[in-house]
Each structure stands twice: as C-alpha cells, then as structure tokens.
Amino acid sequence: MNPPQLPLRFFRWYCHPKLADYIEGDLLEEYGKRAREKGKWRAYLKFCWDVLLLFRPGIIRPMEGYKRVNTYGMYKNYFKISFRQLAKNKSFAFINMAGLTLGFTCFLLLALYVHDELSFDKFHRDAERIVRVMQHDKQEDGSIRAIAQVSPLLGQEAAVQFQEIEAACRMSAFGRVTLGNDPALRSYERIWSPDENFLQFFDFPLVEGNPATALKSPDAIVLTETLARKYFGNESALGKTIWSAFTREGKPVYLTVTGVMKDPPANSHLQVPILFSEATWPTMFPWYNEYVSMDWESSEYVTYLKLKPGADTQVLARKIDNLVKQNHPKDKDFKSTFSLMPLDEVHFHQDNAQDNELNANSIRPFYLYMFGAVAVLLLLIACLNYVNLSTAAALKRTHEIGTRKSLGAQKGQLVGQFVTDSLVLSVLALLLSLLFAQLMLPVINEFTGKSISLIDLPLPWVLATIGLIVLTGIVSALYPAFVSTRVSAVEALKREIKFGSRSLPVRKVLLTAQFAISIMMIASTLVIYRQLQFLRTKDLGFNHENLLVIDINSNRLRRNFEAVKSEFSRPAEVVSITTSTRVPGEWKGFPVPTVQKVGDSKGRDMIFVGIDKDFLETYDIKLLEGRTIEDPKADSMKIVLTQLAVQQLGLTDPIGQMIEMPVIRFGGSREILEQPFQVEVIGVVEDFHFESLRQEMMPVIFGAPNTVIQRIDYYTLRIKTTNWDQTLETLKAINMQLDADNPLEYTFLAARFEELYQADAKRGQIFLLFSLVIIAISCMGLFALVSYSVESRTKEIGVRKVLGASVSSIVSLVSREFLVLVVWAGLVGLPLAWYLMRTWLQDFAYRVTLGSATFLLALGLTGLIALLTIWLRTIRAATANPVHSLRSE
Amino acid sequence: MKKYQLGEFEEIVMLTIAILYKEAYGVAIKNEIETRLKRNVSMGAMHSALVRLEEKGYIKSFDGEATEDRMGRPKKYFQITALGKKAMEYTRETRNELWNAIPKVALDLIVVR
C-alpha cells in the first residue's frame, strides 16, 4: 500500500508532533480500508479532505514550537549543575571566587579612580570651549619655561580684538588674609580675585546671591558654603559683613558677603576658596588701575578664554603672540610665545610649584597610565588564574564529561555547560565585588581625598565594566571547555586522563605570566620604598628636625624683628631663633636672581635668601670660609655663597669678590633692575638642598634681611621639648601679646619636607596594596596547579616513598619544576620593572641607583612566597602514608 | 454556573469510548459513531474533540500496538477518567431533570408526523 505522499507531508508539517504519529496511523488505516473498498482514487480524495479538516486549532503545532520548552529545561539544568559543582568543590569554588572577586574589586576601584581623574572639569557647561592661556618663556640657557599666568591685559584685549573669543576671564591668586569677626576665632583664608564674570563664565552655582552682580562692587566677597558655615553658622550669610586684616586709611576693611557658592566639586582643578571683587584693589592700592590697564610684561593673571564653536586654537594662539608682541615695551626683548590649553587637559599638567594653588590635585598622565595598566594587569591575572583553576578542575570532571558524551551530548552542549559554570561564578564574583567596592570606597576616598561613588560612573562605563567582566567569564571558560571536550568519551570514562599533561605547558605559561607581573610589581614597590627611604634620610645639608617655622603675616611681627626674636626666645624650650625671607622646602614662591661676576654678561640663576646672624646656627649649616651676615644694616651689601654658587660663578678666591644681580625672577615675572644690585662676598657655606629632592640642587646666596629683593617672612625656631602641645601654647600666647589680630601660623619643617613626598608615599602604598593582591591571586593559581600536579602523581609519590624516598626529596621533586617558572617569570618581569622604575625615577634629581640587589631581592621574595605555597600542598602529599595512595587503584 | 462542560459531539465521543471500552482508538471510535448514529464523522472533528477532552481531563490515553495496516504507526487508546464519568453523569442528570420538568400536555399536544 502506498500512502499519498504530498498530503501526508503537509500533515506532518503542520501537526503537533505529539499527536502526529497516531493520527497518521488512523489516517492510513482509513485510507487502506477505503482503498480496498472504494478504489484508490476516491480514497485519495477522502484522505486529502481529512487532512484539510484536521487543519484546525488544537491539532496544529503551536507557533512558538514546543521544542523550546525543552531547551529552557536544559539551560535550567546547566545552572543547576553549576551550582551543584560549586557546592561540591567548596575549596575550589572558594579559591576561584576569591581570586576573581579580588581581581574584579581592584579593577572596579581602579576604573572608578581613573574615571574620576578623567572627569576633571567636565562639569562646566562650556567645558569643551574653554581654554587656558599658557605662556612659554625662553630662558637665558635656551630652555623654555611654561607658565599658566600671563599679563593682566591679554585676555581683555584678545576678547575685544579677536572675534573667535566669546568671553575672557582672568584671576589672580592674591594669597591669604586673616578673616573673622570674633578675634579669638580668626584664621587665614586663601583669596582669589577674579573678573566679575567669573561666576557666569564657569559653572560654580551660587546658593545665595546673584552671580551676575556678586563680584561687581568693592569689598564684596563670595564664600563657599563651608566657609559661610564656619563664620556665620547656619544663618544666611548674604549681606553680612566680616572683619578682614586689610586696611584702608589705617582702618580695617569690613567685607560684605554678596554670594554663597556651593563647594566646588572635588573633580575641579579650580578649588575656589574665597572670591574677592577685583574692584576693591583700586580703593586700597592707588597704582592698581594703572597697572592693570598698562602692563603687558608681568605674568600674574591666570586667564581663561571661552571660544566660539569651531575656533582654531593654533591660529588664535599666533594672533595672541602678535598682540602681545605689539604691546610689549619696544626697548625690552620679547621672548614669549603663547598656547591655548583645553580645560580638560589642565588637570594633567603640573606647571610649576607656584601654580599648585591654581591647579589643585593635578596629576601627571604617567600615573594615570600606570594605574590603568595595573587595572588591566589585575584583570588579566585574575582571568589567567581563573583559566588555570578551571582547566585543572575540569580534570576532575572527566567522568561527568565521559558520561555526557556517551549519552550523546554535543560538543556545543558541553561547552555550554562550562560557559554556564564560568558565568555563574563570574557573575557571583561581580556582585560580590560590587559589594566590596562599595564597602572599600569610603577608605579609598579618605586615602585619595576624592569623593568617588559607584553611582558617579556613567552608564557606558558601567556597561563596559560589566560587559568586560562577563566577557572575562566566557573567555576564561573557553579554554578549559575545549580542552576537556576534545577527549574521547571512552578515555574520559576510563579516567585515563591524558589531556591533563597536554594542557600543562599552557597552564605553566599562564602561571609564568602571572608571576612575571607579580615580580614586576614587587620589584617596583621595593624601588619606590627604597627611593622614599632615600628621600627621607638623605642629608639635606642642614638639620631639619625640631625646626618650627612661624609665618610672618603682619607688619607688627615684621617691623622690629630683633624685639620679636627676643620675645619668642624667652621660653626655655627655644634653643635658638632666626628670621629669614625664605626657608628651605619653601611653599611660597621665592626670588631667583640672575647672579654674575661684576662685568660678566652671562649669569646663573640662584636662590636668594635674606637671613640674620642666627640663621646658620639654627639650621646647622656649616660655615666654611669667612663670616656670615651679622648686622642687617652694615651687611646689607654683603653676601654669603654656597659652595655650588662659588663653583658656578667660577670664583677661585671668593672672599672679597664683587658680584652683581641684574635681573630677578619672581614666579612668572622677571624684573630687570634699573641698577644691578652689587654685593661683596663675605663667606662660603656648605651646600644644602633648598627645594625638594625632585629638583636638582640650586645654588643659594644669603643676603641681609630686608634688602631690595625681599623682606623677611619667617621666624625659625630650633626647639628642644618633650611636650610639644605646651610649647605651642606658650608660643601662641607670646604671639597674642605681639599681634592680637593675627593668629600664630606655624609649620614643622620636617613635616613640610615629608609633605613634599606625600603623593609619592601614597602611590607607594597603592603599589604595595596591588602587589599584595596580585601575588595573592598568583599564589592561589600556583596552589591549584601544584595540587593537581600532586594529585596526578599520587601513585608515583607512593611508590617513591615505599622505595625509601625522603620527604624532602619528594618535596624538592615537585617544587623544582614550579620554581623554574618563577625564575622564568623573573627574566620577563624584572626588565619591565627596571624600565618602569627608571621612568618614574627620572622625576627625581636625586635618586637611588637601580642596582641588581633590589631586583634580586624581589625575585627572592617571590620565590620564597611561591615556595611556601608549594610546600603547603606538597608536604601533605609527601608525608601521607603511601598505603592510601597505592590503594587508590 | 456550569460545573462540567461537555458539548453534544464531545458527549457522543465519550459515550462511544465507553461503549468500546478497551478498544477505543481513533478509527474504531469513528466507525462506531458512524455505524450507530448514521452520521459522517470527519477525522478533524473527532481528533480535535479528543484533544479537548484529554485537556479537560475527562479521558486519558495510552499508547497501543502498531499494526501493519497502520504502516507501523502506533494506536492510541482512550479511556474515561473518574472526572469524565462524573461529567457524563452530570450531563445525563441535567437532561433527565429537564425531561421530568416538562408538563405532560406540552408534548402530547405536538403531533409528530
């Protein structure tokens, strides 16, 4: 009997597979009966008719296809198996999860950190159109100095003349002033005086006051919310007046609060303190108006320009060059060029020490790259570790794989199972690391002085991070998945694990890569710590311990310094006291005169410090020849040089020689003296470091206090005390008697020098932390690899023991092959560390030499840690009773 | 509210399944209805009724043998479930109740030609 094919095929196509078989049976049975009774042709027609009538709901297969229901079940089963696997191998799951979580957490935190650094100044509405004018001055020696300050007229004039500029805003960091209505609670506040359009130019919103008029009238100030709370409590500060140490016609100036500004966000390079209306200056200083409307030479004002869309910064910069050149005094050399720096790049330029106030928390891009690299390395290591552990774990699952294969599992399904396992683990690790990151953030913020939160991360970054981590899960699973699915079902079932040894080289390479990174990190950390140690202990040429520096903030302390000195030296704790214009580790700008022999035309830059007769004694600087400055008046045209200065000036018999200073540079501005300042050398002292050890040692010349160059600004006290609090109280009381208006401001010089390297110290700590994380993750990987190596050699170890091998010989047998890896890793990691650290050390004029000892120590340390990890596992195997291992057949 | 839902054709199918007892599979049910009631039953109508009844839980099925005239396709036998039995009884009772409620005269007056 021949059933009609076409309708039958149609029927098979539409019919619900569950029903198809027996309905088909019924149809065929009927067809056969009819064909016998009524002939083939009629039976055929009837058959077609039946098939057509069967085409009705209930019999047609569902649209979605009923098969998908089954696949859901399979996926569900994947997850079920995954969770069972985790629950079954708890220690494996823990190690793997810990490694991944640690890696992800660090990656997340670093991503947050890098994102925060990149987000600087992006919050201004017109951020993309704002540029900062940079001035590049050609120096005597041909080098170029970049400064962020320009002349007062540049911005205004450029905005008028060049149509691509929409607006200009300049400001000057005035320095500090004492503020406060209550004399007991006065303190020093930093002050900026910007153009009146500052609050409209930038987006620093006001809580109170009108941004358009707040900075217009004289004596107006705008406070941040924090400062408003400090001086006015919770009341509204708007319209209130506050006492200041400024004087006008002999009377203190009361300033009026015209606005309260939200505290600037932490990711702003302008950490705006108090804003002060520029209109106040002419009322105090008669020369001010002339200065700002005539001067094209000085470099005092930070100037920002808001450009119209599409403006060409290069072209505009050349126009500015010309503008300044035309207005520059004709009789003086013009050696400057200008450039326009986009606002979002400002954060990555540390221009010079004086700019720190106008570019808070700036960072060199090098560090950003480094942290970015560390983040990627961490993630990489966590992944390698994961791959390693999973491959090893797959060994244990050969039975399962064999069973699945013999039951007909496809390769894709096995891979699916592995990927699911991996995804479950990595998603769990992701959730955990989000939790840890959230918990860690307060600590990180405290440490970095930032205010990072997980929510700040914009959506694309969140998606990228999560995507990357999920991808990590998938990619990490692929290798073990393919390795373990390649084996034949029979091999897998017989537990004749051949692929374990085949995949070992790959796993060893992965492990070597991990250890290479670990060694690199450890070596780098060691170098950083050695350098920091070097900076702290290096002989600066003077004794900076127990030195207390008092800032002079008023004329009352400045005028009669001998009397002030005798007042301050009254307490027994004060061993000696001196006054000077500047102190080592200077935090304000210092004058750098060009010094030359009389008659010479080429001079050298040197640091000028005015001192009194007690300076050398207080600072412990050794006098080599001649005498020091003794009487401020009689010695006002005398000078003391450091050895380096003598050498640079080329003096053979320095005492009695005449030298002169024709030009003095102060911060960004150069002042050419009408008559060179001529002085006689009366003494030579030993060299000492005036600045941080990042800079090459500069020659120093000591002159009398209160010369034409600069007036005294500090008292330095050498103090010998056991109770610092009490000593400070005594000094504060003395200060109160001398000057009731201005509170005592003091600095410990040793702490000041420590501060110079604080950023480096923090980076050192961060490096240490990440090195620990990386070595921890690597050791987990090593541990896992060793345990599998040991497990697969259980029988061998048993036989060896039975034949009389000692524990130590077995341990060394297993350890040897892994220790070789560490050496290989060292060969890769150490050169990398050497290169990295050489780049970093170039920041310091004085640095440790990169000897091999540090690197060998790093290698040794890593080797030791690796050895301990290996022993932890092998000792157990080596001491186990061979009966157990040999019985395992 | 209807307690049990049973259409006219569905009722016939169930009754036939009950009549055939252990021999109730597709073609047998069809033939039984066709011979007893002298009406044509299409394969589609019957099978969709069977599917519906099984979904309602009134009948259950089990696979049977495959014979040669079915070209190896299995038979599927049907059986009435307890719920199905209740449904049938319920339908019958409601019919009887209605019959009993008819006044004698109402039908007497109608002359059947």
Q: Mapped to the 3 state alphabet, what secondary structure does A139-208 carry? A: CCCCCEEEECEECCCHHHHHHHHCCCEEEEEEEEEEEEEEECCCHHHCEEEEEEEECCCHHHHCCCCEEE
Residues 75-94 of B with CB under 8 A from A: 75-76
Residue of A nearest to B26 (CA): A26
Determine the residue type at A170: R
Closest among A808, A825, A824, A820 to A871, alpha carbons compared: A808
Residue of B nearest to A59 (CA): B48
Which residue carries 């995954």 as its tokens?
Answer: A82
Instruction: Decide if B32 is inside a domain.
Output: yes
**Contact present, A364 and A759 (Cβ < 8 Å):** no
Residue B99: CATH number of its domain? 1.10.10.10
pLDDT tens digits, one per residue of B63-75: 888 888 888 888 8
Structure tokens, A163: 């149509």
pLDDT tens digits, one per residue of A412-423: 888 888 888 888
In the three-class reduction of DSSP (H, G, I as helix; E, B as strand; rest coil), residue A247 is classed as strand
**Contact present, B41 and B34 (Cβ < 8 Å):** yes
Question: How many Å apart are CA B59 and CA B88, to the nearest integer?
Answer: 11
Contact assignment for B69 to A3 by CB distance below 8 Å: no
Q: Where are the beta strands (DSSP E) in A42-164?
A: 130-138, 144-147, 149-150
Residue numbers in A near B66 (CB within 8 A)? 25
In A696-806, which ranges are continuous DSSP H helix?
A: 724-738, 749-756, 758-792, 794-802
Contact assignment for B69 to A28 by CB distance below 8 Å: yes
pLDDT score for A667: 65
Of A22, A55, A58, the CB nearest to B75: A22
Report chain B's mean pLDDT, rounded to a whole number: 87
Structure tokens, A395: 């060994």
Task: Look at the alpha carbons of A818, A824, A829, A834 in this order and tell me if their dihedral is positive or negative.
Answer: positive
Instruction: Decide if B78 is inside a domain.
Output: yes
Exposed (0-12), middle (13-18) or buried (19+): which is A319, by Cβ within 10 Å? middle
Structure tokens, A165: 């500029």
Give chain A's largest Cα–Cα span: 145
Q: How far is CA A169 from the centre of its chain?
A: 30
Which residue carries 């860690």 as its tokens?
Answer: A440
Structure tokens, B24: 């109730």
**Burial letters A123-147, b for 16+ CB under 10 A, else e:** ebeeeebbbbbbbebeeeeeeeeeb
pLDDT score for B92: 92
Q: Does position B1 have pLDDT exceeding 50, yes or no?
A: no
Distance from CA of B93 to the nearest CA of A (A): 29
Residue of B nearest to A16 (CA): B51
Contact assignment for A26 to B69 by CB distance below 8 Å: no
pLDDT score for A517: 87
Question: How many Å apart are CA A293 and CA A153, to the nearest integer?
Answer: 7
Instruction: Please report which confidence band the pLDDT of residue B113 belongs to, taking 50, 70 and 90 as the band edges.
Output: low
Of A23, A32, A57, the CB nearest to B26: A23
Compute, in degrees rounded to 10, the torsion defined by CA atoms A365, A371, A373, A379: -150
Cβ partners under 8 Å of residue A476, min gap 6: A383, A386, A387, A390, A422, A426
Instruction: Decide if B102 is inside a domain.
Output: yes
Cβ partners under 8 Å of residue A822, min gap 6: A515, A519, A859, A862, A863, A866
How, if at all, do strands A220-224 and A669-685 pair?
Answer: unpaired
Q: Which domain holds residue B94?
A: 8-108
Instruction: Decide if B104 is inside a domain.
Output: yes
Of B51, B52, B73, the CB nearest to A28: B73
**Contact present, A700 and A555 (Cβ < 8 Å):** no
Q: In 10 A of CB A676, how many CB atoms? A: 17
Exposed (0-12), middle (13-18) or buried (19+): which is A555, by Cβ within 10 Å? exposed
Structure tokens, A632: 């401020």
Question: How many Å apart are CA A357 and CA A361, to the nearest integer?
Answer: 9
Interface probe, candidates A29, A49, A56, A61, chain B, greatest B C-beta count within 10 A: A29
B26 touches chain A (CB under 8 A): yes
Contact assignment for A32 to B42 by CB distance below 8 Å: no
Which residue carries 């001998």 as its tokens?
Answer: A562
What count of CB pairs under 8 Å joins A to B?
Answer: 72
B66 touches chain A (CB under 8 A): yes
Residue numbers in B near A62 (CB within 8 A)? none
Q: Report the domain count for chain B.
A: 1
Helix axes A499-537, A758-792, angle to 10 degrees: 160
pTM over 0.80: no
**Contact present, A702 and A688 (Cβ < 8 Å):** no
Instruction: Decide if B113 is inside a domain.
Output: no
Phi-psi region at A172: left, alpha or beta (left = phi > 0; alpha = psi -120 to 50): beta
Of A32, A33, A54, the CB nearest to B43: A54
Contact assignment for A58 to B70 by CB distance below 8 Å: no
Sheet arrangement for strand A574-580: A574-580, A714-719, A547-551, A746-748
Residue numbers in B near A58 (CB within 8 A)? 48, 51-52
Contact assignment for B30 to A26 by CB distance below 8 Å: yes
Question: How many Å apart are CA A302 and CA A358, to the nearest integer?
Answer: 8
Of B42, B67, B70, the CB nearest to A50: B42
B7 touches chain A (CB under 8 A): no
Q: Does position B3 have pLDDT exceeding 80, yes or no?
A: no
Contact assignment for A29 to B70 by CB distance below 8 Å: yes
Instruction: Decide if B1 is inside a domain.
Output: no
Contact assignment for A24 to B73 by CB distance below 8 Å: yes
The segments of chain A whose pLDDT lies below 50 read 353, 498-500
pLDDT score for A353: 44
Contact assignment for B76 to A22 by CB distance below 8 Å: yes
Question: How many Å apart are CA A208 and CA A235, to the nearest integer?
Answer: 12
Of B27, B45, B73, the CB nearest to A53: B45
* Angle at the Cα of A6 from the Cα atoms of A5 and A8, rounded to 5 degrees: 65
pLDDT score for A496: 53
Structure tokens, A78: 């994947």
